[in-house]
Amino acid sequence: MTDVTPQEAEFIPPAEVAEVELYHPHSWWTRYVFSQDAKVIAIQYAGTAMSIGFVALVLSWLMRLKLGFPDTFSFITPDAYYQFMTMHGMIMVIYLLTALFLGGFGNYLIPLMVGARDMVFPYVNMLSYWIYLLAVLVLVASFFAPGGPTGAGWTLYPPQAITSGTPGGVSWGIILMLVSLILFIIGFTMGGLNYVVTVLQGRTRGMTLMRLPLTVWGIFTATVMALLAFPALFVACVMMLFDRVVGSSFFMPAVVDMGTPLPHNGGSPLLWQHLFWFFGHPEVYIVALPAFGIVSDLIATHARKNIFGYRMMVWAIIIIGALSFVVWAHHMYVSGMYPYFGFFFATTTLIIAVPTAIKVYNWVLTLWKGDIHLTLPMLFALAFIITFINGGLSGLFLGNVVVDVPLSDTMFVVAHFHMVMGVAPVLVVFGAIYHWYPKITGRMLNETMGRIHFWVTFLGTYMIFFPMHYIGLVGIPRRYPELGDTAFIPPSVHTLNEFITIAALVVGAAQLVFLFNLFWSLRYGKEAGDNPWRATTLEWQTAGTPPPHGNFGKELPVVYRWAYDYSVPGAPEDFIPQNDPSPLTQGGPA
């Protein structure tokens, strides 16, 4: 492959693609409620996701209270604990993180960053949000249904998920859960089509794939993965719904429940595990890849440096996306599968660590000798890197069959996945909100409140999840509401549990500060201007802030360069926007 530098043409040919005709809202309702503008839909998605995420946060407090002070909180029954745990896990992973990264940030950033006026199918995009909202409402409804929500664990393993021993198993809980997931997937598919086709088709002139900001790469790849992985969950949910409602036997072997044989016969619970984890593992990366992309952009912008190894970053995203489809069975080491399969999946799991490690190195190398501004987005990005390395290291342990078998289903696993897929992406969410809030609202978030929020959250989560590793190594199983007086448990575990609970409550309180800040700054925040971070990407070059309907002015921007021209030698400023025709590049004049 030769390096051909395209000629510098003075004349830009007019857009060959006719600009997509915009739908213009005619009333207050179609402007703010049933809006087809991706920016409004993004805010609707994000608002809904954060609201339901808050419910999940409250559930985690309740769980922690029970774990820390079992006697005081004896009114939280084991059944209630299981219900809280299930809802907490499910909401956090799917209804909060997936919806927020793809529906929230995807909707807001994709059209702006690729230089489009809107998503390509605005009407379908609007439907996507309303179906998502319906899914959330069905989920919430299960809290008020007779029997309460399901307590089957977020993996919903059969047969226990639909037997009478599990809360919600033979009442409404599990049905509403499955219906809600099915709705979510339908809604997501509608949105996902938009995100993918907009990146493929909506790019403005000059915006080649290799000029896309990594945020778009991350969201795009994650969406492609989600479009292929969610069908597995869909199939699994439909099949379980058959078992539960019609009484068929996809997953249900012949079971005797409390002395009475159930009508099922001949189902295979293992089938569920395969389908579920075929979705479940890519899901980890569906959450992680957008986070990777966003962090890359935050670091480059706030360290005023071009991202180190842009090409490698892109390739790594693609490779991680592809590989994560062939590792699902590492969640099933203890399900009694054929040992050679275990070997295969352990190998692919370790291989996937390579591109991930490359990304971490590149972030660190980008920071190296950068002009680091410790702004709030930067702080969160740094915290993400540290947390991700930590969680990744414990993951390397768990990727080995021999190590995983004894640690499987202990609090060690809980600590591990909270570090990598709980805390790390959430830190990115915060960083991204501090970064793009000025564009969305025109005002900066309050700095003092932000710093309090950051330090309490960052240090606090360590106080929560570090001791948990230790508790797991001692052998404390996960999903146990109470430990009781078991002989092998040293008293230090109880003390630690109390400590963790208090830390969790403090971290929770910090999120209230953040929430308050979001509303307070709307009104009293400092005016931001169009480009407060002096960033290069197109969303900061719009015709006003917040960007108007149609995003850009009369004409769409033309892109002349990649997204990371920070501190270019010889340039008058330390950044060159993507739509700046100057011939300067990182290596001198082109």
Under rule CB under 8 A, residue 274 binds another protein: yes
Least separation in angstroms between CB 136 and ligand HEM: 16
Phi, psi of 588 (to 5 degrees): 100, -175
Alpha helices in 482-563 (DSSP H): 491-524
User: 380 near 428, Cβ under 8 Å?
Assistant: yes
Smallest separation (angstroms) from Cu ion to the CB of 422: 14
From 90-98, 247-255, 260-268, 381-389, give the range in contact with ligand HEM by CB under 6 A.
90-98
Q: Which residues pair with 333 in a beta bridge?
A: none
Query: How far apart (Å, rounded) are the C-alpha atoms in residues 206 and 551?
Result: 18
The answer to whether 92 contacts ligand HEM (rule: CB under 6 A) is yes
205 contacts ligand HEM (rule: CB under 6 A): no
Q: Which of 50, 93, 120, 239 binds ligand HEM (CB under 6 A)?
A: 93
Q: Closest CB to ligand HEM among 359 and 418?
A: 418
* Least Å from the CB of residue 43 to another protein: 24
- Which CB, 122 or 167, lies closer to another protein? 122
Burial letters 344-358, b for 16+ CB under 10 A, else e: ebbebbeebbebbeb
- Of residues 50, 51, 55, 57, the one with CA closest to residue 508: 57
For the chain, the first-to-last Cα distance in angstroms comes to 18
Question: Cβ of residue 207: shortest distance to Cu ion, in angstroms?
Answer: 34
Taking CB under 8 A as the rule, does residue 209 contact another protein? yes
The interface partner of residue 63, options being another protein, ligand HEM, Cu ion, none and the CB cut-off 5 to 8 Å by kind, is ligand HEM
Partner that binds at residue 244, options another protein, Cu ion, ligand HEM, none, CB closer than 5 to 8 Å by kind? none
Query: Binding segment for Cu ion among 12-20, 196-204, 276-284, 450-458 (CB under 5 A)?
Result: 276-284
State which of residues 91, 232, 294, 449 lies at the interface with another protein (CB under 8 A). 232
Please compute, for residue 100, the number of CA atoms within 13 A of its CA located in the half-sphere on the CB side.
Answer: 28
**Residue 478 touches which of Cu ion, another protein, ligand HEM, none (CB < 5 to 8 A by kind)?**
ligand HEM
In a 3-state reduction of DSSP, which class is residue 117? coil
Contact 140, 577 (CB under 8 A): no
Alpha helices for 399-446 (secondary structure H): 401-407, 411-417, 424-441
Least distance from C-beta 89 to ligand HEM, angstroms? 3
Contact stretch for another protein (CB under 8 A) within 10-18, 94-102, 518-526, 540-548: 10-18
The entry of Cu ion, another protein, ligand HEM, none that residue 408 binds, CB within 5 to 8 Å by partner kind: none
Alpha helices in 145-268 (DSSP H): 172-201, 214-241
The token pair at 380 is 């969160």
236's tokens: 């699994």
Peptide bond into 261 cis (omega under 30): no
Interaction site with Cu ion (CB under 5 A): 281
Interaction site with ligand HEM (CB under 6 A): 60, 63-64, 85-86, 88-89, 92-93, 97, 153-154, 414, 418, 421-422, 426, 464, 478-479, 504, 507
